[in-house]
Structure 1
Amino acid sequence: MSGTQRRVAAAGGLLWRNGERGLVEVVAVWRPQVGNWSLPKGKLDPGEHPLAAACREVEEETGIPVIPQLWLCRASYVLPNPEGDVLKWVDYWSMRTEKPDAVFTADDEIGERRWLTLAEAREALTRPRDQQVLKAFAALPAVTSTVLLVAPAEVEEDWDGPDVTRPLSGRGQDQAVRLAALASLYQPDRAFTATGRASVQTVEPIAQAVRCALSGDSVFDTEAHERNPERSSARVRELAGGGGAVIVCAEPEVVCDTVAILADEDGVQAPDVSTRPGEAWVLSLSGQKLVGIERL
């Protein structure tokens, strides 16, 4: 690899809906400067998380507010440049929307927005990277629910009271705020936590950001989990059956076991399930069946 090769990170999305023709449709945009149809995407701002960039770029280019679902793939390619080739990669997520007919305004960068069936998209989107995304999307069943499974953020070490009342540390509070910025993109309409104070404090910023109710659920406590390790994963399936997005904060060992059990039961390849304080997993389900796992 050339020492002068620059690297550029970008992100985008495959935004889909159930069309009037009874077929799944995806959004494509026309780029007049290059003369082609493509999936919406764009470069990350400095310090921006790829997921946040993907949602921002898709909404900017299509005019449609989006709700992310699951990560689909990373497309990489090299752009020749006289000053040194540029290695560019784009992370793509599947996305849904509650406002598919939001107003679109054309500009110099995006001249038109169009909903296409998957068959039409395969014909219109000529770039290999777009074909890669379409293939990844078509290989999956429709995602009907997203469960954000969160471990409590960092807790206060010096605490004389009962462990259940141990609060977040200052750093833990910062972790919870940063997590809320990403988790709120999924627009969860329900939130559940283990009964410990740290779990509640971890989820509060998210619940406040999206204005959803917050409920305690002792199924996600370590003590209950030790008595019945399968109960937490069964509860996640129950919650997923309601559709939409839900956030769950469980004790750390409960998070790890739940991800591992769901993946094993449904034949989904699981990464290392170790989970740091304040870290979250995005579990994508079709009905009550797990179809994708992503570390947020």
Structure 2
Amino acid sequence: MTVFAAGAVCWRVVDGKILVLLIHRTRHKDVSLPKGKVDPGEVLPQTAVREIAEETGLKVHLGLPLGVTNYVMPNHREKVVHYWAAEVTEEAVLASTFVPNSEVAALEWMPVSRALSSISYKRDAEILKRFQAFVDDGILSTFAIIALRHAKAIPAFDFDGRDSARPLTQRGLHEARFIVPGISAFGPTVLRSSTALRCQQTIAPTAEALGLPVKKTDSISQDAFENGTSDIRSIVGKRVRRRATAILCSHGPVLPEIMREVALATGTTKPASIARAGDLPVAGYTVIHLSKERPGSGIISVETHVPH
């Protein structure tokens, strides 16, 4: 049975230099990237953030995905580890409660070049090289636009009323709560929702968990999309200009157009291919990563998460 895990290349800038974090593990007596196994009921982004906090005392949000490693453990089980980049703020460093313990003996910040020679495993070094490739391309700080499809709603044929008033089912209400830890791992600070009740109910648990308001707009509603009065371009353009991670909670028919507009707003080639990442199941979401310094340089990475 495969074991899944998640972690990150944690990085910060000190005196104008990019440093990454390696951990010295106590029991294994090795040097590696912070990571850990998925707990029952967790999703991978949630695991990455939790494990970093447990191993290093640092509270982080995830940035660019850096790929996957897989290897066979001594017990002959395969282990698959997903990694992201994670910027560490000075506030997070100052708030860290780390002390050497039975799992991690020490933390060490160092340039990538030194980290590559210090790390114990070639597979971890490959993840560091991917991080360095982004740095070499001038991509460091990023933000994301997260396109979220509403959770399971009562079917239209079972509902006597306006389509926009259809509520979530019990399954949908569970899905809305389930997505909170995973979607929160990317650090959204702006929440936007279609005016439809099913979208408002989907994003409500995330808003409560993050302590953020939700701004409702017809511009990304299904009714407006179908009658030709939506204004997806303005909503997306504003989010790209503001360069802050945002969730846009909308509908199945609307999400591919949201994705296409993000591609157009950032000068990304092949917008039709990006649009297909908007074909999501209920309660699924796509994270579109963009450069803070150069958002017009195109979409850097796209990752999609769907409920179990």
TM-score range, shorter chain: 0.7 to 0.9
CA contact under 8 A between 2:22 and 2:115: conserved in structure 1? Answer: yes
Question: Structure 1 residue 103: deviation in Å?
Answer: 2.8
* Aligned counterparts of 1:53 and 1:37: Cα–Cα separation in 2: 20
Opposite residue 281 of structure 1, the aligned amino acid is T
Question: Structure 1 residue 273: deviation in Å?
Answer: 3.8
* Aligned counterparts of 1:49 and 1:118: Cα–Cα separation in 2: 28
Relative distance call for 1:22 and 1:163 in structure 2 (3 A) is: same
1:10 aligns with 2:5: yes
* Aligned counterparts of 2:299 and 2:236: Cα–Cα separation in 1: 10
* Aligned counterparts of 1:42 and 1:218: Cα–Cα separation in 2: 41
Moved more, 170-179 or 231-240: 231-240
Of the candidates 254, 274, 299, which is equivalent to residue 290 of structure 1? 299
Question: Structure 1 residue 280: deviation in Å?
Answer: 0.9
Match of 1:52 in 2: 46
* Aligned counterparts of 2:50 and 2:233: Cα–Cα separation in 1: 32
CA contact under 8 A between 2:151 and 2:173: conserved in structure 1? Answer: yes
Relative distance call for 1:112 and 1:244 in structure 2 (3 A) is: farther
Question: Structure 1 residue 112: deviation in Å?
Answer: 0.5
Of the candidates 123, 130, 141, which is equivalent to residue 136 of structure 1? 130
Opposite residue 173 of structure 1, the aligned amino acid is L
CA contact under 8 A between 1:240 and 1:246: conserved in structure 2? Answer: no
CA contact under 8 A between 1:143 and 1:284: conserved in structure 2? Answer: no
Match of 1:188 in 2: 188
CA contact under 8 A between 2:63 and 2:142: conserved in structure 1? Answer: no
Of the candidates 74, 80, 88, which is equivalent to residue 89 of structure 1? 80
CA contact under 8 A between 2:232 and 2:261: conserved in structure 1? Answer: no
Question: Structure 1 residue 109: deviation in Å?
Answer: 1.9
SS at the partner of 1:139? helix
Relative distance call for 1:217 and 1:97 in structure 2 (3 A) is: farther
CA contact under 8 A between 1:118 and 1:134: conserved in structure 2? Answer: yes
Deviation string 1:107-149 (CA, Å, 9 cap, x unpaired) is: 1221111222222222222411211111222223124212221
Of the candidates 5, 10, 15, which is equivalent to residue 21 of structure 1? 15
Opposite residue 165 of structure 1, the aligned amino acid is A
- TM-score, length of structure 2 as denominator length: 0.84
4+ residue runs over 6 A deviation: none
* Aligned counterparts of 1:261 and 1:40: Cα–Cα separation in 2: 36
Aligned length: 286
* Aligned counterparts of 1:53 and 1:44: Cα–Cα separation in 2: 6
CA contact under 8 A between 2:22 and 2:108: conserved in structure 1? Answer: yes
Match of 1:153 in 2: 151
SS at the partner of 1:252? coil
**Identical-residue share of aligned pairs (%):** 27
Q: Which has the higher helix share?
A: 2
Deviation string 1:265-285 (CA, Å, 9 cap, x unpaired) is: 514874654211111111111
CA contact under 8 A between 1:188 and 1:212: conserved in structure 2? Answer: no
* Aligned counterparts of 2:200 and 2:31: Cα–Cα separation in 1: 46
Note the 1:118-129 alignment, pairs <5 A: 118-129=112-123
CA contact under 8 A between 1:11 and 1:91: conserved in structure 2? Answer: yes
CA contact under 8 A between 2:188 and 2:246: conserved in structure 1? Answer: yes
Relative distance call for 1:36 and 1:228 in structure 2 (3 A) is: farther
SS at the partner of 1:183? helix
- TM-score, length of structure 1 as denominator length: 0.87
CA contact under 8 A between 1:11 and 1:44: conserved in structure 2? Answer: yes
Match of 1:37 in 2: 31
CA contact under 8 A between 2:290 and 2:301: conserved in structure 1? Answer: yes
SS at the partner of 1:111? strand
Q: CA RMSD in A?
A: 2.3
Opposite residue 88 of structure 2, the aligned amino acid is T
Question: Structure 1 residue 92: deviation in Å?
Answer: 0.8
